[in-house]
Amino acid sequence: MGTATAGALFVASLILALALVHRPLGDHMYRVYTTTRHLAAERLIYRLLGVNADAEQRWSAYARGVLAFSVVSILFLYGLQRLQDKLFLSLGMDPVPDHVAWNTAVSFVTNTNWQAYSGESTMGHLTQMAGLAVQNFVSAAVGMAVAMALVRGFARNRTDNLGNFWVDLVRGTVRILLPIAFVGALVLVAGGLVQNFAAPQEIATLTGGAQSVTGGPVASQEVIKELGTNGGGFYNVNSAHPFENATSWTNWFEIFLILVLPFSLPRTFGRMVGQKRQGNAVLAVMAVLALASVTLTNVFELTGNATVPQAVGAAMEGKEVRFGVANSATFGAATTLTSTGAVDSFHDSYTPLGGMMVMFNMMLGEVAPGGVGAGLYGMLVLAVITVFVAGLMVGRTPEYLGKRIGAREIKLASLYFLVTPILVLTGTALAMGNADGLAGMLNTGPHGFSEVLYAFTSASNNNGSAFGGLTVNTPWYDTALGLCMALGRFLPIIFVLALAGSLARQAPVPESAGTLPTHRPQFVGMVVGVTLILIALTFLPALALGPLAEGLS
Amino acid sequence: MSTSERRVGGGLLDPGQLVRSLPAALAKLNPRTLWRNPVMLIVEIGAVFTTVLAILDPTFFGWAIVVWLWLTVVFANLAEAVAEGRGKAQAATLRAAKRDTVARKLVGDAIETVGAPELRPGDRVVVEAGEIIPGDGDVVEGIASVDESAITGESAPVIRESGGDRSAVTGGTKVLSDRIVVEITQRPGESFIDRMISLVEGANRQKTPNEIALNILLAALTVIFLAATATMQPMAIYAKAANPGIPDSLALTGDGVTGLVLVSLLVCLIPTTIGALLSAIGIAGMDRLVQRNVLAMSGRAVEAAGDVNTLLLDKTGTITLGDRQAAEFVPVAEVGEEELALAAQLSSLADETPEGRSIVVFAKRAYGLREREPGELATAEWVPFTAQTRMSGVNMDGRQVRKGAATAVMKWVRDHGGHPTDQVGHLVDGISASGGTPLVVGEVDGDKARVLGVIHLKDVVKPGMAERFAEMRRMGIRTVMITGDNPLTAKAIADEAGVDDFLAEATPEDKLALIKKEQEGGRLVAMTGDGTNDAPALAQSDVGVAMNTGTSAAKEAGNMVDLDSNPTKLIEIVEIGKQLLITRGALTTFSIANDVAKYFAIIPAMFAAVYPGLDTLNIMRLSSPQSAILSAVILNALIIIALIPLALRGVRYRPAGAAKLLSRNLYLYGLGGVVAPFIGIKLIDLIIQFFPGM
């Protein structure tokens, strides 16, 4: 079996698995977010939080909930890192330096999981488990909660109520993430991942040197790292480490975990707005973009259009032998198409155009399928913009799912769309025009530039993967990237919730033959087209000076 | 040129109009007027900036860019000026009608002469033949024929009379005969003509909701491209520094991309096409309505017309011809059809009502019975139709023939000793049930009284209405027929005309309730009306078209006035509203799609010197970097001029479902918008490459 065939089978089996799972899982999530019944454990949490779980919130209250929860989380995480030497299970680690602690706190709360540190040599078990792992769950649940609020905006009429943030947060964690993570962790342990509290072991290597191998609760972290599209690895090399990703099939399973929730949420959306076909259309847009991206990344990597790959026959630099080129490329595409940012290969070593693909995936705003929740709301905002641009061409005030897209809606959607491109471009420009920014670059020329562009793209879009080749644990980069992560997460969330509030207040417009149908291939193609053109137009100059300059030479 | 000719010819753009509008376009370069169009203001700022650069460092390339950037702004202003110019011409004709007139005001029983501007609402004025009506109002006394050509362009005079729904008169129109007393309803300076003038001139034009939303999107796109070009500078400086030894070019130096090129790129990327044409599209949309003799009181109403979900149409005059017409003679047993036809014709000769005329016409058409003048039959004694007897007929040679309402004629037959059979009752009921009006024909010959048969009068649906309603259905618009008829009759006509629903035995309250119910469900409702009792419904509906013949109250309540008073025009209004929105959407799509080609021209031109691989992107094989950049800028400006006619005329619109419309426009303006500029830029490059410095 040729490499290409094997790679295609790998992708095909993933598609099949996702196709089988997305319906029941989507239906399950629909029930989770619409039922009125609380579990006993949930009631206990509500009582502890002092929350009235049956009271609904308007958009501003919902947004305050998100922000308050996130700010408290950042402070807690920061404190935990700074004080870890005084607490237990620290493995003797020193307190984390202030700029790294800030960056890491923001990074994990924003579902980015950008790691300006090396996990095994910086964080003790307590920080990993009580701090980072907890955020891996709740930051994902926050994303889903915001998405559900937006979906309710479409589904509901003449109301200010968008649900209750605390209920959505708790239910997402307790009923969706925890059960799947529990089963997934067992599968990963069976696949060879470690799960222990062992102290680092000294072992002698083949070359006679000594190496300290850290064990730990890896499998349980690993599963939520992928499932919650977080991406913060237990080890510095992330999913390339054999304890995080043992074999080719754990690699498959981890990609599956990355994609399963984002690809199931459109079903939940379809159920909630009462038209499954609308969910299918959103799913189709995501699938088309994702498949195109996976295919292109594979093609660029397998054809190895660069000097070294052509010399040695395959673009194996920076990739694990046990995964190979194709499966690494697929992992790379999946992790950047979502907001995961876990890596099982070194993106810096991809062929220039392959590297551009993983960058472009993030520039799309991570909507295909995107981070848990974040992908769905990002895609719905793009659908709103598409409806507006193209919807006028049917001769009516644009409307989506029975809601008019007027001045207020397009203003919020535009603001949402503006945030990340401006953060990426401004951040990159500042870095290139500033001694601190230039100081971190290990490479020069277009490749060095790509590394900086990648870092800001990853942070602003809350991906968290790194191209590499850039020294980012400096105060300047920690601060700048931390700001990008925070603004790139919370500004869009505020705009999305305001949009949800504005949609929910509207009376529905009845559908007629004159209404733009938003469930047909025509519309799917249109959203894909508008997304690609807008993103390409925004980023083409930057891409031209980085990966394109390198890849077309 | 007569008014009507001008209206017909209004759809096309003649080059002379561009030249005439040039001074106005130049005047609009003033930043204080341009700030309302942020996209174009940015182009102007860029033009000023590059002018300074070109003065400091004069090159042919630099000045060429400067000239074309200024032309871009001028072309955009020209689009707006041309659109406004057409309205101004119309306003001039209207102003001519608004001469200062003298009014003869009634004070008690005396008449006092005052200037028209001094009239206040409630004042009563006397207007006689040959005089100009001094202000808008209602006729409270008398009847007159009025020449309204000043506002409608229609030279045939119309009748205006006190009471009823034809009482409104407009200031500036001329009384041709008789004498009327008019109660003024307008305040000074707010007459109908004043409003018309300010409407067609676009003096107080306000942005419509969709226009506002679209402007927000354009602003967002502008911000994105500003960010993309501004942040490119440090990246370009780095790229240049990372490749030492490469000489500076016109596009890229050690200080980054040159100001000329940066501004050129920005102007090419921001949505100048739609930014330039947006206001012209709106003005032209209103203008298209004016060409069809409809005055919209606001752009918002025109836009709402495109969104309408439900059309309420009055049956009489809109769906059916004004009056019922004879369609069939049904004789009772023992009577021949010919015999009945003859009797029906005879009894109707003296009936001057439209129904009566239609019987005579039908008898002639279907039975070849020659129409006879009443005077022709010397011995006949004619009995004209009256509302009291509800019969008409003739007494001739001892024979009496009557035709009229079923109950009246049957009573007349019985009174003369006849006994109408059950069959007559069945015939009458049958016709009623089918929605028709039965008229019974009876005769008394000697002492024998009998019923001869029944005339079937029915509503005649205007030709082509069923097709129009089918079109509406394809556009997703529900049509509802409003009628005072009973449900049975209403249903029959509704079925024949092909409307989706009907409201029978409708009172003004029912109508209002129906509109509110539709709006409750999120639907937008359009209707026409003329009577005072239509006013509440007109005010409640989203698009209320008042007939110019209607009352002042109706005209005040609606948000459009149809000067032709043609209720069917509602359908055209809806189409114009849709066309307006489609034109905006199509040009926005086109504008964005255009950017792709411009990138392929400008990016290699900027950076191929430092990264030769990027020349791969120069797929148009443009001759030099300077020529590539200038070609893109020229194309960007020329597209505006090229699309002015489309913006004024509106894109072609055929009633169809949303999916079909969208496909067509997507291919044309989306795909076309991507492909066309590649060709355009290449063609311009082929020409300008021969200029020095290219």
Average pLDDT of the segment spanning A529-553: 92
B404, β-bridge pairs: B391, B440
Give the distance from residue B253's alpha carbon to the nearest chain A alpha carbon, in angstroms: 15
Half-sphere exposure of A367 (CA within 13 A, CB side): 23
How far apart (Å, rounded) are the C-alpha atoms in residues B456 and B466?
22
For residues B353 and B41, which has the higher predicted lDDT (pLDDT)?
Answer: B41
ipTM of the complex: 0.93
Check whether B390 is labelled as a binding-site residue.
yes
> What number of CA atoms fall less than 13 Å from residue A532's CA on the CB side?
16
**Nearest-neighbour CA in chain B from A158: distance (Å):** 11
Q: Residue B390: which domain range?
A: 321-460
Q: Which of A218-222, B79-83, B93-97 has the lowest mean pLDDT?
A: B93-97
Is B166's pLDDT higher than 80? no
Query: Region A246-270: what's the mean pLDDT?
Result: 95
B519 annotated ligand-binding residue: no
B223 and B77 together in one domain: yes
B377 has a pLDDT exceeding 60: yes
Residues B642 and B515 in one domain: no
Q: Which among A232, A213, A236 is positioned nearest to A221, based on CA atoms?
A: A232
Closest CA to A354 of A313, A286, A424, A294: A294
B210 and B64 assigned to the same domain: yes
Nearest of B191, B413, B196, B417 to residue B293 by alpha carbon: B196
- The whole-number average pLDDT for the span A184-209 is 86
Rounded CA Rg of chain B? 34
My answer on whether B427 and B509 are in the same domain is no
In which element (H, E) is residue B184 found?
Answer: strand B179-184
**Which chain B residues are closer than 8 Å to A515 by Cβ?**
476, 658
Greatest Cα-to-Cα distance within chain A, rounded to the nearest angstrom:
77
| B272 marked ligand binding residue | no
CA distance B321 to chain A (A): 29
DSSP state of B246: P
Rounded CA gap, B429 and B437, in Å? Answer: 10
Nearest chain A residue to B651, by CA: A393
Please indicate whether, in this complex, the C-beta atoms of B231 and A448 are within 8 angstroms of each other. no
Å between B41 CA and nearest CA of chain A: 21
Which of A429, A508, A549 is closest, CB to CB, to B522?
A: A508
**What is the band of B603 on the pLDDT scale with cuts at 50, 70, 90?**
very high
How far apart, in whole angstroms, are the C-alpha atoms of residue A125 and residue A104? 15
pLDDT digits (tens, 9 = 90+) for A376-430: 999 999 999 999 987 889 888 899 999 999 999 999 999 999 999 999 999 999 9
* Same domain (yes/no): B502, B445: no
Q: Using an 8 Å CB-CB cutoff, list chain B residues near A444.
A: 242
Give dist(CA A438, CA A470) in Å, integer: 10
Q: Over range B496-509, report the average pLDDT.
A: 88
CB atoms within 10 A of CB B494: 26
The answer to whether the Cβ–Cβ distance between A393 and B586 falls below 8 Å is: yes
Q: Give the number of domains in chain B.
A: 3
For residues B521 and B559, membership in a common domain is answered with yes
pLDDT at A137 over 80: yes
- A470 within 8 A of A94, measured Cβ to Cβ: no
What are the counts of helices (DSSP H) followed by strands (DSSP E) for chain A?
22, 4
How many angstroms separate the CA atoms of B610 and B604, rounded? 10
Listed in sequence order, the DSSP H helices in A433-546 are 435-439, 445-460, 475-505, 521-543
Tell me whether residues B662 and A411 touch, CB distance under 8 A: no
Say if CB B613 and CB A549 are below 8 A apart: yes
Q: Crossing angle of helices A407-432/A374-391, nearest 10°?
A: 120
Is the pLDDT at B5 greater than 70, yes or no? no
Task: Answer whether B584 sits within 8 Å of A392, measured CB to CB.
Answer: yes
Mutation site, B238, B243, B660, interface A, largest A CB count within 10 A: B238
Q: Provide the 8-state DSSP code for B366.
A: H
Report CB contact under 8 Å: B229, A529: no
Give percent of chain B above pLDDT 90.
39
The amino acid that residue B238 corresponds to is Y
Please indicate, yes or no, whether residues B653 and B510 belong to a single structural domain of this protein. Answer: no
Provide the percentage of residues in chain B whose pLDDT is more than 70. 95
In this predicted structure, the answer to whether residue A306 has a pLDDT above a threshold of 70 is no
How far is residue B617's CA from residue A541's CA, in Å, rounded to a whole number? 12
- Out of B512, B531, B563, a domain closes at B563
Rounded to an integer, what distance in angstroms lies between the CA atom of residue B617 and that of residue B489? Answer: 71
Rounded CA separation B359/B373 (Å)? 14
CATH number of domain containing B470: 3.40.50.1000
| Residue B353 and residue B455 in one domain | yes
Look at residues B532, B563, B594 and tell me which one is the last residue of a structural domain.
B563
pLDDT digits (tens, 9 = 90+) for B520-560: 888 999 998 877 778 888 899 999 998 887 777 888 888 89
Would the CB atoms of B234 and A407 count as touching at under 8 Å? no
Does the annotation flag B691 for ligand binding? Answer: no
CA distances from A552 to A439, B157, B240, B554 (A): 27, 77, 17, 70
Q: Give B534-584 as a 3 state SS string.
A: HHHHHHHCCEEEEECCCCHHHHHHCCEEECCCCCCHHHHHHHHHHHHHHHH
Residue B54 CB partners (closer than 8 Å, separation 6+): B62, B63, B65, B66, B260
Type and span of the H or E element at A384 = helix A374-391
Determine which of A192-201, B217-226, B370-379, B518-527 has the lowest per-residue pLDDT on average: B370-379
What are the pLDDT digits (tens) for A49-68? 999 999 999 999 999 999 99
What is the rounded distance in angstroms from the CA atom of residue A414 to the CA atom of residue B398?
Answer: 89
- Do the chains contact at A514 and B213, CB–CB below 8 Å? no
Minimum mean pLDDT range among A318-332, A535-549, B218-232: A318-332
pLDDT, tens digit, for every residue of B290-319?
888 888 888 888 888 989 999 998 887 778
B287 is in an annotated binding site: no
Q: How big is the A-B interface in CB pairs under 8 Å?
A: 224
Can you give the pLDDT at residue B670? 93
Residues of chain B contacting A393 with CB distance shorter than 8 Å: 582, 585-586, 589, 661-662, 665-666, 669
**Cβ-based neighbour number of residue B138 at 10 Å:** 19
Based on DSSP, count helices (H) and strands (E) in chain B, helices before strands: 24, 24
* Per-residue model confidence (pLDDT) at position B204: 64
φ, ψ dihedrals at A342, nearest 5°: -70, 150
B314 is catalytic: yes
User: Please, are residues B221 and B214 in contact by the beta-carbon 8 Å criterion?
Assistant: no
B58: buried, middle or exposed (CB in 10 Å: 19+, 13-18, 0-12)?
A: exposed
Nearest-CA distance A156 → chain B (Å): 14
Using alpha carbons, select from B498, B510, B442 the residue that is nearest to residue B470. Answer: B498
The pLDDT tens digits of the residues spanning B401-421 come to 999 988 889 999 999 888 888
Q: Compare CB distances from B659 to A426, A509, A517 and report the shortest one's residue.
A: A517
Give the per-residue pLDDT at B1.
32
Residue B131 lies inside a defined structural domain of this protein = no
Of B419, B441, B460, the domain-final residue: B460
- Residue A307: predicted pLDDT: 67
How many Å apart are CA B338 and CA B346, to the nearest integer? 12
Report the length, in residues, of chain B.
694
Collect all residues of chain B within an 8 Å Cβ-Cβ radius of residue A445.
242-243
Tell me if B237 and A393 make a contact (CB, 8 A cut-off): no
CATH code where residue B367 lies: 3.40.1110.10
* Residues A402, B522: C-beta atoms closer than 8 Å: yes
Nearest to B685 by CA among B616, B610, B600, B612: B600
| Closest approach of B13 to chain A, Cα-based (Å) | 24
Residue B81's nearest CA partner among B34, B38, B26, B129 is B26
User: Chain-wide mean pLDDT for chain A?
Assistant: 92
Residue B99 has pLDDT above 80, yes or no: no
Element (H, E) at B218: helix B209-242
DSSP conformational letter for B383: E
Query: B333: pLDDT confidence band, cut at 50, 70 and 90?
Result: confident
As a dihedral over the C-alpha atoms of residue A314, residue A317, residue A320, residue A322, rounded to 10 degrees, the angle is: 20
Mutate to test the interface with B, among A545, A548, A553 (most CBs of B within 10 A): A545
Q: What does the pLDDT read at residue B9? A: 33
Q: Which of A401, A397, A400, A460 is CA-nearest to residue A428? A: A460
Q: Single out the residue of A216, A254, A223 nearest to residue A140, CA to CA.
A: A223
Six token digits for residue B34: 């341009």
In sequence order, which residues have a C-beta less than 8 Å from that of residue B527 and are 6 or more positions away? B311, B312, B313, B482, B511, B515, B534, B537, B538, B541, B543, B544, B545, B570
H helix intervals, B438-568: 465-474, 487-497, 508-520, 535-540, 552-557
In a domain? residue B655: yes
Of the residues B123, B136, B287, B314, only one is catalytic, namely B314
Predicted confidence at residue B373, as pLDDT, reads: 65
Instruction: Judge contact between A339 and A462, C-beta under 8 A.
Output: yes
B454 with B326, same domain? yes
pLDDT, residue B3, reads 35
Annotated ligand binding at B385? The verdict is yes
- CA closest to A450 among chain B residues: B235
**H helices within A165-247, ranges in order?**
165-171, 178-190, 218-227
d(CA B467, CA B459): 18
| Residue B362 vs residues B341, B374, B455: alpha-carbon distances, Å | 9, 18, 10
How far does Cα A407 stand from its chain's mean position?
30
The confidence band for A547, taking pLDDT boundaries of 50, 70 and 90, is very high
Residues B377 and B521 in one domain: no
Nearest to B665 among A393, A428, A448 (CB): A393
* Residue in B with minimal Cα distance to A430: B234
| Cβ–Cβ < 8 Å for A215, A196 | yes
What is the average pLDDT value for chain B, to the nearest integer? 87
Residues of A in contact with B613 (CB under 8 A): 548-553
What pLDDT does A513 receive? Answer: 83
CA-based nearest residue in chain A for residue B616: A552
What does the pLDDT look like over B258-296, one tens digit per residue? 999 999 999 999 999 999 999 899 888 888 888 888 888
Is residue B547 domain-shared with residue B665, that is, in the same domain?
no
Residues A204-220: pLDDT tens digits? 888 888 888 878 888 98
β-pairing verdict for B381-383 and B560-562: unpaired
In a domain, B109, yes or no: no
pLDDT of residue B6: 31
pLDDT at residue B199 is higher than 80 = no
CA B336 from chain center: how many Å? Answer: 52
Q: What is the pLDDT of residue B375?
A: 63
A407·B212 Cβ contact <8 A:
yes
User: In whole angstroms, how far apart are CA A19 and each of A12, A25, A274, A340, A377?
Assistant: 10, 11, 21, 20, 21
Residue B347 to chain A, least CA–CA distance (Å): 51
Cβ-based burial of A161 (10 A; exposed 0-12, middle 13-18, buried ≥19): middle
pLDDT in tens, A101-136: 999 999 999 999 998 887 777 888 888 888 888 999
Closest CB to A515: pick one of B238, B476, B588. Answer: B476
- d(C-alpha B433, C-alpha B429), whole Å: 6
How far, CA to CA in Å, does B329 sit from each of A417, B175, B314?
Answer: 72, 45, 28
Query: Domain check: are B468 and B546 in the same one?
Result: yes
Chain A partners within 8 Å of B659 (Cβ): 516-517, 520, 522
For residues B447-471, give the mean pLDDT: 86
